[in-house]
Amino acid sequence: MFTEGLTTSNDEMLTRCLRTYVTIDKIADAESLFRRVEVKPYMEEYINESYIRQKGGSFAMYSKILEFQKLKCDPLLAVIKPKSGQEPVKGYDFMVNAVWPEVVDLLETKAMSIFAAGNPENFYKEYTDGMEFLSSFELQCATIQSVKRLRVHPSYGKFINKWSLPVYFQIRLQDIAGTMEKCFLTPWTANTENSVYSLSLSHTVQSCIEKCWRKGVFLPSLAHRFWKLTLQILARYRTWLSALCNGEVEIECVVDKPALPRPSSRVDMLKSTDGRASPQSRSESPSSVTEFRKPNSDELVQVVGMATNSSLVSPVFYRPPFSLPYQLVIHKMLSSVQYLRKASL
């Protein structure tokens, strides 16, 4: 009778069946029957890898899941919470106890690809779509109490834990930190990008910080980890600057190699009118070599200025180009460079 009432949308029949289940304390059986007869056949049609590939992502799948409420749950909600003066049928929560568990079970078994973290760009898209779907599903719950029951339901935790956020962050960490450390191997490379920095290292440090909070990379659930990574990047850069100011870092400089004498040949002797080889014929042409040594005080001021752009160091003229929480930290770090420069003189 309950199944017939769902098929025909007969409110009177549904009300009688639901009240009967309440009387005999079989509410869970009614919810289980609804899940098996109505929820599962509908969800199996859309929650599968074939449908996701066909639609080019999980967004269309989530949209179909959310449409289920209007198609199948509205008749039940009209009985459970009638708009007229009829007495409501209490004790049921089909969205939490029937729809949501079936959705999560099918996602875990039929659509595992959406949880894969190997491709960070794809994972970011799938995760953001999944969290938007979760928020929309909560809005479909009838009451605040229903939302609270949803959030403590075991399937809710299963859905959240299926997203491999630590793996995603490790991939982003390796990419960002690897890019920065590569520049520290050649810190004196000139910056070719259109930015205020003279050294590519300084430009890369700022780019890495901005990437941590960029749309397409940053996830609110990982805010604490990206914040820690931001501080680690700043600490790494400041350590390098401090070592530079303390004379612990060697600078790259070009030194002219003096001309070296070479033995005179018989041909050179014949070319000379007085029987002696000319000076040019007895020496090699001058050349230049690259050496690394500790900077003196004048070079230190110049190098630190190249690394940080001295026009940005002063707290009076420096205006952080970021609108994110770490702008104050960057401001303090760059401002402290001015003190390091003065202390080194």
Q: For residue 170, how many other CB atoms are within 10 A of its CB?
A: 14
pLDDT in tens, 38-73: 899 999 999 999 999 998 889 999 999 999 988 888
Average the pLDDT over 269-281 and give the result. 46
Helix crossing, 11-23 with 27-34: angle to 10°?
140
Q: CA 292, CA 188: separation in Å to the nearest integer? A: 11
> Which is higher by pLDDT, 139 or 11?
139
Instruction: Name all contacts of 9-15 with Cβ < 8 Å and 24+ positions apart.
Output: 9/75, 11/75, 11/78, 11/79, 14/75, 14/76, 14/79, 15/79, 15/89
pTM of this structure: 0.73
β-partners of residue 290 are 254
- Cα angle 16, 22, 23 (rounded to 5 degrees) comes to 85
| Among 71-75, 220-224, 290-294, 333-337, the least confident range | 333-337
pLDDT in tens, 153-199: 999 999 999 999 999 999 999 999 999 999 888 887 888 877 777 88
Percent of the chain with pLDDT over 70: 67
Cα 98 to the chain's mean position, in Å?
A: 34
Q: CA 169, CA 171: separation in Å to the nearest integer? A: 5
> Which is higher by pLDDT, 225 or 82?
225
DSSP 116: -
Q: CA 116, CA 198: separation in Å to the nearest integer? A: 40
Confidence at residue 309, expressed as pLDDT on a 0 to 100 scale: 52
Judge whether residue 74 has pLDDT over 90: no
Domain ranges of the chain: 2-163, 168-247+295-344, 251-293
> Phi/psi at 297 (nearest 5 deg)?
-65, -40
Q: Does an H or E element contain 290, and which? A: strand 287-293
> Phi/psi at 124 (nearest 5 deg)?
-60, -45
